[in-house]
Amino acid sequence: MSYYDIDSILTDAEVCPSPISLLVMTLLPSLILYAYGSTDGDQKVPCKFELDLADLGYLDNNPNEPLKAGTQMSLPLWLAEMLALAGTGEESKAPVTLNLPDALSNRVMQALKADPRAVTVRDQSAHFYGLGTRILDLFDDRELSEAMRKTFVTRAAEIALHARKGGDDAVGGSSEEFLRGLDEWERVLFRKAHDGTKASKEWMDKVKKH
């Protein structure tokens, strides 16, 4: 049976509807989507499979073999999250366990603690804070949470300063260079701060004319 033979999978499940079979059936569309439709833009996290899963060896480049317990690989966060939260019973463990992605590694956290402004967070992830928020939904890590909070607060102050100094279009020169290092949340903050400063200046100019 090949992994894409849906009829065979359904037949096997009817004959022996084990929790693992039901789990594989539930996640099969997502697993196939990852195998054939994932992009380099998917944020990946390191995972370890805790169970033997039949017919899923293609995830590890072994299409005719089961995926063995202990196999380690990086999966897109959306898929890793689904697998980590899936269960086969009230007392059974999830199919995979997750580790922190490189973007939130101890090395990065230590650099942020030393000086958040010196770290180009976009080089870690274009969605650095979004990734951190998702990971904190899965990990009870107070140290990571505090480091992320302090990083955002410290960098937000500098973002506001640059936004006030930026030109009318908020790009060009030092502003453009500064923007390159910001993650998506920070870029939105920069734009809103710049637009607010520009609107305030225009309002003050109108008041002075009257």
DSSP state of 5: -
**Integer CA distances (angstroms), 74 to 47, 81, 146, in order:** 6, 12, 26
- Identify the pLDDT of residue 31: 56
- Identify the pLDDT of residue 23: 55
pLDDT tens-digit map of 3-45: 444 444 444 444 444 455 555 555 555 555 555 444 444 688 9
pLDDT tens-digit map of 166-209: 655 545 556 777 888 999 999 999 988 888 888 888 888 787 77
**Higher-pLDDT residue of 57, 174:** 57
**Degrees to nearest 5, angle at CA 127 with 124 and 130:** 120
End-to-end CA distance of the chain: 81
Residues 63 and 142: their CA atoms lie apart, in Å, by 40
Q: Where in the chain do CATH 1.20.58.2050 domains reside?
A: 101-209
Strand order in the sheet with 72-76: 72-76, 44-49, 96-98
**Integer CA distances (angstroms), 54 to 28, 34, 166, in order:** 12, 17, 57
**Higher-pLDDT residue of 123, 30:** 123
Residues 163 and 157: their CA atoms lie apart, in Å, by 10
Residues 128 and 2: their CA atoms lie apart, in Å, by 38
pLDDT tens-digit map of 139-176: 889 999 999 999 999 999 999 888 887 655 545 556 77
The domain 101-209 is classified under which CATH number: 1.10.620.20, 1.10.3470.10, 1.20.58.2050, 3.40.50.410? 1.20.58.2050
pLDDT tens-digit map of 73-116: 988 888 888 888 876 555 567 888 899 999 999 999 999 999 99
pLDDT tens-digit map of 98-110: 999 999 999 999 9
* Beta bridge pairs of residue 74: 46
- Identify the pLDDT of residue 122: 93
pTM above 0.85, yes or no: no
